[in-house]
Amino acid sequence: MRNTDPFEFFSTHRDTIFRICGIIGALLIVFLILRAIAMRMGGWSAAWARVKRELAVTRNAFAAPIRAWFQHQRRLRRLIHHLGAPLTWRDAERALVRARQEAAPARPYAALVDDREVTVLLADSTDAGTWTIDRTELPAVTPDPDAVRPVIVSLGVSEDGTGRAVFLDLATGPQQFAIEGDQRAGAALLQAIAAQLDVRLPAGLVTVAEGVHRDHQGEPVRNAYRAARETEPHFGLGPVLIATELPDPLPVELSAPPSEDLSVPRVIVTGPGRGHVRRLLADRHARVYVTGTPLLPFFDALGRALARVLPHIPPVLPPAPPTGNAASDLFEEAEGQEQQQTTLVKTRKAEPEEVPLGRSAAAPLASVADAEAGETSAGPAADATPGTSPSITSRSPQP
């Protein structure tokens, strides 16, 4: 190496040397540019933090659609699991009635149901505002002395990751429920609530105005409200109007404070309400916020879930049978009627000369056999005496 002529070496490896020098020069230029940018950002540490943040944002932008799709499918499965089981609806209703009795004077307005327990949210409560009970501890029948049955609808799945079904009680609070926020999301939520009420309430109680659904030719909102106002309550349940706007001018009964008058229809509309109203704010991410409450469920999978389980959704919880002294009096009266009918039948069998139904007194029976045949044909008619309840007389008293 010592005897190597440097000029000859340079001439021999000239291309390699120029290439290496070019690379070093390019790296030096890049380093100087990066240093200038880093100094402008506040130093190397600040620049590196900025780079990491931008990389995270880029990764999230590509992964967010895939992650959202998986979350949507998971919420859809949870809703189908909960809403497709009639027991879930029944447990939510029984828990609301039980909480009204246990947590008085607080008023329950919503229920969160999972596979193990039911959490009821309370209004005007001095404690944490919740009442929880295990689903296995709920009684089969929950008597309601106030005769105010909950009318619940599903708002989707809770956002806390537990997959609990969220139910809102429409029978409590103001007469108006206004869905505000994103227009497309609000329209989808209104249609989902309308479908649930239509299948849960007795026929004729739900009136849908024009503009709610493209496949439903409803009447103008004033005519629809007039029809709902003239609808008589059934089984302790009042009428419901579903519309895209309120009638103008606003009826006096809708601007009045909340009451338990079943003749006044409950109105569910999209857009801002007027007077006493409960607002549901729907955003473009398919979340609905019930103002004044901690509820913020996702309803993006609610429409698809309802389309699959709508035939399995049960009607509103029927009234519970009377309890206490009223029940005992009823059974005693039924037992007395049963004994009276038994005595009457024995008396009729002991009188063979009686004229059977369908014959006149001027045409006496030919023989006792004819009398017995006539008595046999008249027996069912005598048992079906007006004012006698077959379901009560044929039932033995229960403790």
The string of DSSP codes covering 143-185 is: --TT-----EEEEEE-TTSS-PEEEEETTSS-SEEEEEE-HHH
Q: Please list, in sequence order, all residues whose beta carbon lies within 8 angstroms of the beta carbon of residue 131, skipping any fewer than 6 positions away.
A: 99, 102, 103, 108, 119, 120, 122
d(CA 59, CA 66): 12
Q: Which residues of 114-146 are buried (b: 16+ CB within 10 A; e: fewer)?
A: beebbbbbbeeeeeeebbebebeebeeebbbee
Mean pLDDT of 202-208: 90
Task: Find out whether 79 and 302 touch, Cβ atoms under 8 Å.
Answer: yes
Cis before 150 (ω within 30) = no
Question: Is pLDDT of 352 > 50?
Answer: no
Strand partners, 234: 237
d(CA 245, CA 270): 6
Residue 164: its pLDDT value, please?
A: 93
Residue 125: its pLDDT value, please?
A: 60
Question: Which pLDDT tens digit goes with each residue over 360-396?
Answer: 333 333 433 343 444 444 343 334 333 333 333 333 3
In the chain, the percentage of residues whose pLDDT exceeds 70 is 76
Residue 334: its pLDDT value, please?
A: 41
Q: Can you read off the two tokens belonging to residue 67? A: 């992650």
Residue 85: its pLDDT value, please?
A: 93
Question: Which pLDDT tens digit goes with each residue over 279-289?
Answer: 999 999 999 99
First-residue to last-residue Cα distance in the chain:
115
Question: Which pLDDT tens digit goes with each residue over 209-255?
Answer: 988 888 888 888 899 999 988 888 888 888 999 998 888 888 888 87
Query: Could you tell me the residue ranges of all domains in the chain?
Result: 81-139+147-312
d(CA 286, CA 296): 10
Residue 384: its pLDDT value, please?
A: 37
d(CA 117, CA 134): 4
Question: Is pLDDT of 117 > 90?
Answer: yes
Residue 157: its pLDDT value, please?
A: 94
Q: Please list, in sequence order, all residues whose beta carbon lies within 8 angstroms of the beta carbon of residue 205, skipping any fewer than 6 positions away.
A: 231, 233, 234, 237, 238, 239, 240
Q: Read off the pTM.
A: 0.69
